[in-house]
Amino acid sequence: MSTLAIQTHASQTTRFEKNAATREPNWVKYLLLGISLSFFALFLLLPLIAVFTEALRKGLETYWLAFTDADALSSIALTLTAALISVPLNLVFGVAAAWAITKFEFRGKQILITFIDLPFSISPVIVGLSLVLVFGVHGWFGEWLVANDVKVIFALPGIVLATIFVTFPFVARELIPLMQAQGKEEEEAAIVLGAKGWQNFWYVTLPNIKWGLLYGVILCNARAMGEFGAVSVVSGHIRGETNTLPLHVEILYNEYNFSAAFAVASLLALLALLTLVIKSYVEHKISKRTNG
Partner 1 sequence: MSINVKNIHKRFDEFTALDDISLDFPSGELVALLGPSGCGKTTLLRIIAGLEQADLGDIILDGENASNTHVRDRQVGFVFQHYALFKHMTIFDNVAFGLRMKPKAQRPSESKIREKVFSLLQLVQLDWLADRFPAQLSGGQRQRIALARALAVEPRVLLLDEPFGALDAKVRKELRRWLRKLHDELHITSIFVTHDQEEALEVADRVVLMDHGKVEQVGTPEAVYNHPQTPFVYSFLGSVNVFHGRAEQEHLQVGNEQLRHHNDSYGHAQDVFAFARPHELKIVENNHHEGVSARISRVLSFGIETKVELDGLNGTHYEVHLSQQQRQDQPLHIGQEVKLVPSALALFPKEIETLRLSEQQG
Q: Between the CA of residue 104 and those of 95, 98, 100, 162, what are the distances in Å?
A: 13, 10, 5, 30
Shortest Å, Cβ 215 to partner 1 = 16
By CB under 8 A, is residue 188 in contact with partner 1?
yes
Query: Closer CB to partner 1, residue 186 or residue 241?
Result: 186
Query: Closer CB to partner 1, residue 187 or residue 227?
Result: 187
Taking CA 116 as the corner, what is the angle to CA 112 and CA 122, rounded to the nearest 5 degrees? 125
State the CB neighbour count (10 A cutoff) for residue 108.
9
By CB under 8 A, is residue 181 in contact with partner 1?
no
**According to CB under 8 A, which one of 2, 22, 26, 194 is a site residue for partner 1?**
194
By CB under 8 A, is residue 186 in contact with partner 1?
yes
By CB under 8 A, is residue 190 in contact with partner 1?
yes
Query: Closer CB to partner 1, residue 39 or residue 203?
Result: 203
Site string for partner 1, 135-174 (x = CB under 8 A): ----------------------------------------
In sequence order, which residues have a C-beta less than 8 Å from that of residue 69 and are 6 or more positions away?
Answer: 260
Shortest Å, Cβ 95 to partner 1 = 17
**According to CB under 8 A, which one of 3, 32, 207, 280 is a site residue for partner 1?**
207
**According to CB under 8 A, which one of 42, 193, 270, 274 is a site residue for partner 1?**
193
Query: Closer CB to partner 1, residue 43 or residue 198?
Result: 198
Spatial separation of the C-alpha atoms in residues 165 and 176, rounded to whole Å:
19
By CB under 8 A, is residue 10 in contact with partner 1?
no
Query: Closer CB to partner 1, residue 71 or residue 186?
Result: 186
Query: Closer CB to partner 1, residue 136 or residue 212?
Result: 212
> Binding residues for partner 1, how many (CB under 8 A)?
17
By CB under 8 A, is residue 196 in contact with partner 1?
yes
Cβ(43)–Cβ(211) under 8 Å? no
Spatial separation of the C-alpha atoms in residues 204 and 290, rounded to whole Å:
16
Cβ(73)–Cβ(245) under 8 Å? no
Query: Closer CB to partner 1, residue 130 or residue 208?
Result: 208
**According to CB under 8 A, which one of 199, 273, 274, 280 is a site residue for partner 1?**
199
In sequence order, which residues have a C-beta less than 8 Å from that of residue 64 and are 6 or more positions away?
Answer: none
Spatial separation of the C-alpha atoms in residues 36 and 79, rounded to whole Å:
34
Torsion sign, CA atoms 206, 209, 213, 215: positive
By CB under 8 A, is residue 203 in contact with partner 1?
yes
Shortest Å, Cβ 282 to partner 1 = 16
By CB under 8 A, is residue 257 in contact with partner 1?
no
Q: Which amino acid is at 24?
A: E
By CB under 8 A, is residue 24 in contact with partner 1?
no
**According to CB under 8 A, which one of 56, 89, 195, 271 is a site residue for partner 1?**
195
Which residues of this chain interact with partner 1, rule CB under 8 A? 185-186, 188-196, 199, 203-204, 207-208, 292
